[in-house]
């Protein structure tokens, strides 16, 4: 038997969408290997029905561990305990930050091979092969595992959540011991929202701004353009400018922000890092303005403008307004 253990991140009573995707993917792959997918949830008093609900995404069993929520190292302890007591050949993580930390820690604990940013997994000859884009997505490496357990960390949105039509998963309590290092971190605040609560997920037109806007006030250029489009348009941002406090966290697109797919996504002063790309690459039309002709964003935009946004945005705003009024 070759079972797959899937980490299920949950917050505020809901399972993370990328974890649901990982459970679906794990169930599909396990079936091809002739095994089962089991999910593991950790937290303080994880509701039984939340754990059982993973059955409808294909998990046969849900292991529930009691422990401090929001930190990686307790999960390394719990997953290592599950793996030593079960028949697991792979551990699978959906895209996200904690999955990277847990997967890496688990690789070290088990002496296991690990591949991250995986966009596709296939079963071949009873084994899994992970596909991992490297060097700014210019090539895809194929990775197999020599170790008894292989660790696969998905890229954000790589695995799609699919309801399998199965009933609830069998819920089992997992006992494990917290390592000393896991006891040396305490989460004081979790999920703090910084800045205004804006809605970018429903917008048809998103004007996204990055560090190239130069200063917090630079966002005025993006806001003016969004206003010119009118209707269902909004302004979004990269992590670089959110971390810098230039724009609210709720407007952030990417790995630790929102995933969006508007009709039009227009990037101004954004380099196009992978962690940003994963949150917007499904947009219908991608336009980028960047003064650096080699910026990675031009690799995946439909229309690229090489130039200074300070010159282009004000004129574009006027032209959009004029067009709308005509």
Partner 1 sequence: MKICVLVKEVPDAAVEKKVDPSTGRMDRSGEKNLNPYDTHAIEAAMQIKEGGSVPVEEVVAVTMGPDSAVRALHKAVSLGADRSVHLSDPAVAGSDVAATGYALAKTLQRESPDLVLLGQQSDDGECYTIGAVVAEHLGMPSLTQVIKMDVEPSESHPPGGSGSLRCERQAEYGYDTVQIELPAVISVGDAINEPRYPSLKAIMGAKKKPLDTVTASDVGVDPAKVGGDNSGAQWVGAKPPPAKAAGEIIEDEDTGETVEKIIAWLDQRKLL
**Out of 29, 295, 316, 320, the residue judged to bind ligand FAD by CB under 6 A:** 295
Residue 98: CB minimum distance to partner 1, A: 7
Piece in contact with ligand FAD (CB under 6 A), picked from 19-27, 49-57, 145-153, 285-293: 285-293
Residue 291 lies near ligand FAD (rule: CB under 6 A)? yes
Nearest residue to 61 (alpha-carbon basis) of 85, 44, 77 = 85
Classify residue 221 by burial, with Cβ atoms within 10 Å: 0-12, 13-18, 19+.
Answer: buried
Q: How far apart are CA 265 and CA 267, in angstroms?
A: 6
Q: Which does 137 bind (CB under 5 to 8 A by kind): partner 1, ligand FAD, none?
A: partner 1
The full DSSP string for 17-78 is: HHHHHHHHHHHHHHHHHT--EEEEEEESS--HHHHHGGGGGT-SEEEEEES-TT-HHHHHHH
Residue 97 lies near ligand FAD (rule: CB under 6 A)? yes
Residue 252 lies near ligand FAD (rule: CB under 6 A)? yes
CA torsion 132-143-9-186 (nearest 10°) is -100
Q: How far apart are CA 280 and CA 265, in angstroms?
A: 8
Residues 305-324 that bind ligand FAD (CB under 6 A): 308-310
Q: Which does 260 bind (CB under 5 to 8 A by kind): partner 1, ligand FAD, none?
A: none
Site map (CB under 6 A) of ligand FAD, residues 212-231, x = contact: x-------------------
Q: Which does 24 bind (CB under 5 to 8 A by kind): partner 1, ligand FAD, none?
A: none
Strands (DSSP E) contained in 220-296 are: 233-237, 264-268, 285-290
Residue 157 lies near ligand FAD (rule: CB under 6 A)? no
Piece in contact with ligand FAD (CB under 6 A), picked from 51-59, 184-192, 193-201, 206-214: 206-214
């Amino acid at each position: 038997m070759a079972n797959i253990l899937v980490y299920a991140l949950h917050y505020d009573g809901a399972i993370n969408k990328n974890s649901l995707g990982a459970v679906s993917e794990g169930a599909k792959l396990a079936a091809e290997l002739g095994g089962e997918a089991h999910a593991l949830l950790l937290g303080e008093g994880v509701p039984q029905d939340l754990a059982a609900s993973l059955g409808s995404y294909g998990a046969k069993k849900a292991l529930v561990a009691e422990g401090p929520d929001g930190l990686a190292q307790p999960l390394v302890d719990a997953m290592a305990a599950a793996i030593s007591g079960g028949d697991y050949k792979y551990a699978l993580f959906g895209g996200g930050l904690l999955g990277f930390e847990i997967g890496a820690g688990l690789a070290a604990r088990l002496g296991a091979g690990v591949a991250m940013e995986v966009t596709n997994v296939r079963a071949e000859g009873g084994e899994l092969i992970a596909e991992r884009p490297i060097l700014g997505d210019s090539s895809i490496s194929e990775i197999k595992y020599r170790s008894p357990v292989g660790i696969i960390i998905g890229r954000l949105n790589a695995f799609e959540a699919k309801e399998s039509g199965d009933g609830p998963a069998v819920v089992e309590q997992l006992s494990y011991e917290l390592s000393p290092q896991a006891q040396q971190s305490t989460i004081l605040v979790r999920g703090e929202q910084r800045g205004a609560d804006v809605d970018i997920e429903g917008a048809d037109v998103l004007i996204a701004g990055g560090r190239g806007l130069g200063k917090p006030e630079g966002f005025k250029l993006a806001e003016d353009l969004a206003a010119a489009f009118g209707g269902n348009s909004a302004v979004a941002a990269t992590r670089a400018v959110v971390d810098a406090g230039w724009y609210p966290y709720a407007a952030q697109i990417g790995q630790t922000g929102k995933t969006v797919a508007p009709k039009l996504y227009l990037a101004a002063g954004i380099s196009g890092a992978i962690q940003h790309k994963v949150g917007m690459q499904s947009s219908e039309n991608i336009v980028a303005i960047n003064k650096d002709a080699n910026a990675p964003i031009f690799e995946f935009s439909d229309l690229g403008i090489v130039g200074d946004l300070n010159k282009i945005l004000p004129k574009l705003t006027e032209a959009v307004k004029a067009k709308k009024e005509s």
